[in-house]
Amino acid sequence: MSSLAEDLAKDRRLVILRLLSEVPGSGYSLSASMLTKAVRRIRHAVYDDTIAADIVLLEQHGLVLREEELHNGKTLVFATLTKLGRDVANGRPHPMVDQPSPKF
């Protein structure tokens, strides 16, 4: 049986993957700060470091690519959806990500 914290983390990771899947015009890529803002809008109480950790975990599982870019002396982190990540966002089972609700 999973805990509420684990369930919330899996749901948050699904939200991240689905958000990335909805921005094909940007190459399925968003900055960590934009992901944090978007996840907060979906009523997840998160901090930047939580999203940063999720991006690392998702990268370790091959669901996103993590990139760092230097802008005006500040390092920005970007996540880009992989094909596997898109499959998981669309319902392929993965132990670290919640299943999406059935489509009607």
pLDDT in tens, 83-103: 999 999 999 999 999 998 876
CB 21 within 8 A of CB 89: yes
Mean pLDDT computed over every residue of the chain: 93
Would you say residue 98 lies in a domain? no
Task: Report the CATH number at residue 71.
Answer: 1.10.10.10
Residue 103 is assigned to a structural domain of this protein = no
DSSP summary character for residue 94? B
Segment among 1-5, 11-15, 52-56 with least mean pLDDT: 1-5
Q: Confidence band (pLDDT; 50, 70, 90) for 2?
A: confident
> Phi and psi (nearest 5°) for 49?
-70, -25
In a domain, 48, yes or no: yes
Taking the model in full, what pTM does it have?
A: 0.91
pLDDT at 45: 86
**Shortest CA distance to 88 belongs to which of 6, 9, 15, 2?**
15
Task: Specify if 100 maps to a domain.
Answer: no
Structural domain harbouring 70: 4-89
pLDDT in tens, 63-77: 999 999 999 999 999
Whether 82 has a pLDDT exceeding 80, the answer reads yes
Half-sphere exposure of 9 toward its Cβ, with a 13 Å CA cutoff?
14
Instruction: Work out how many domains the chain is built from and give that number.
Output: 1
